[in-house]
């Protein structure tokens, strides 16, 4: 049982005060009858419509964001714009938060959700969820760098789990590479690259678990995950 106004909020139909207004305006029907009472308790067998269109209950929201630079992976910040600030009010559900962190200057795939259980699962070190980054790097790696990554770099501050380094190009002293980790320590890619005497100049996450960044999303844009993508995330 859920209050009608909460139900509409959870379904992304507006803030609590916005949906209260819609209800007062007579735009909401429960089982075919207009109701102006936001406190009415409804359950899954009730049919709710807004402006004569059915409203299907979705407790959780899952968004794929192409994070731009100069945003922080947090829900609130005193100084910087957060990734949640990029989300339109109709999608900004209670409890929406970034599933993991990318640095302020890192771009690319970030999942935003209010499904705490799934996020906890995906971020658990025991799950070894693969994250792949495209990196532009100043410097050329030693020839054995892919083997060193694979063995697990001991960078002093911590020992990295086995990782994958694929060199895509090397020219004029610069490298482009794809790096896949199964963990996510603070600044990890930058620290691993620095340990081998090079410097990350651009970093973009291109995949997270079974999901790849949708190439149609420009930086700062997001879209809901498809049911298939949600199932892929949950499969783990």
Site residues for ligand URA per CB under 6 A: 102-103, 106, 187-190, 203
Integer Cα distance of 214 and 153 in angstroms: 31
103 belongs to the catalytic site: yes
Least distance (Å) between residue 43 CB and ligand URA:
43
CB of 102 to ligand URA, least distance (A): 4
Cβ atoms of 11 and 54 closer than 8 Å: no
Q: Which CB, 137 or 189, lies closer to ligand URA?
A: 189
Q: Which residue, 3 or 187, is less far from ligand URA as judged by CB?
A: 187
Of residues 61 and 65, the one with the C-beta less far from ligand URA: 65
- List helix spans (H) across 81-236: 116-123, 145-151, 188-195, 227-234
Identify whether the C-beta of residue 138 lies closer than 8 Å to the C-beta of residue 217.
no
- Residues 6 or more apart whose Cβ sits within 8 Å of residue 134: 108, 176, 177, 178, 203, 204, 206
Whether the Cβ atoms of residue 91 and residue 61 lie closer than 8 Å to each other: yes
Which residue, 113 or 188, is less far from ligand URA as judged by CB? 188
For the CA atoms of 133, 139, 145, 150, what is the dihedral angle to 10 degrees? Answer: -20
- State in angstroms the smallest separation of the CB of 155 from ligand URA: 12
> Do 217 and 204 form a contact (C-beta atoms < 8 A)?
no
Of 91, 103, 121, 214, which one is the catalytic site residue? 103
Q: Could you tell me the smallest distance in angstroms from the CB atom of residue 128 to ligand URA?
A: 15
Provide, rounded to whole angstroms, the least separation between the CB of residue 133 and ligand URA.
Answer: 6
Q: What angle do CA 9, 76, 83 make, to 5 degrees?
A: 75
Residue 232, both tokens: 């892929």
Taking the CA atoms of residue 85, residue 86, residue 87 and residue 89 in that order, the dihedral angle to the nearest 10 degrees is 60
Residue 48 or 189: the one with the smaller Cβ distance to ligand URA is 189
The residues assigned a catalytic role are 103
């Amino acid at each position: 049982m859920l209050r009608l106004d909460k139900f509409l909020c959870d379904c992304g139909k507006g803030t609590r005060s916005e949906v209260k207004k819609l209800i007062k305006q007579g735009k909401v029907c429960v089982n075919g009858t207009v109701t102006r009472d936001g406190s009415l308790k409804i359950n899954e067998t009730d049919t709710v419509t807004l402006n004569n269109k059915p409203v299907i209950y979705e407790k959780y929201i899952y968004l794929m964001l192409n994070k731009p630079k100069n945003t922080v992976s947090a829900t609130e910040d005193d100084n910087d714009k957060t990734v949640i600030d990029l989300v339109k009010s109709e999608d900004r559900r209670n409890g929406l938060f970034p599933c993991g962190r990318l640095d302020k200057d890192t771009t690319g795939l970030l999942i935003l959700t209010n499904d705490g259980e799934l996020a906890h699962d995906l971020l658990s070190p025991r799950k070894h969820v693969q994250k792949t980054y495209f990196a532009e790097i100043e410097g050329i790696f030693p020839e054995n760098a892919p083997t060193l990554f694979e063995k697990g770099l001991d960078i002093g501050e911590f020992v990295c789990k086995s990782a994958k380094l694929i060199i895509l190009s090397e020219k004029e002293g610069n490298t482009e590479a794809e790096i896949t980790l199964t963990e996510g320590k603070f600044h990890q890619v930058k620290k691993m690259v620095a340990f081998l005497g090079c410097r990350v100049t651009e970093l973009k996450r291109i995949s997270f678990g079974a999901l790849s960044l949708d190439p149609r999303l420009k930086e700062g844009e997001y879209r809901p995950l498809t049911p298939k993508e949600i199932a892929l995330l949950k499969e783990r």
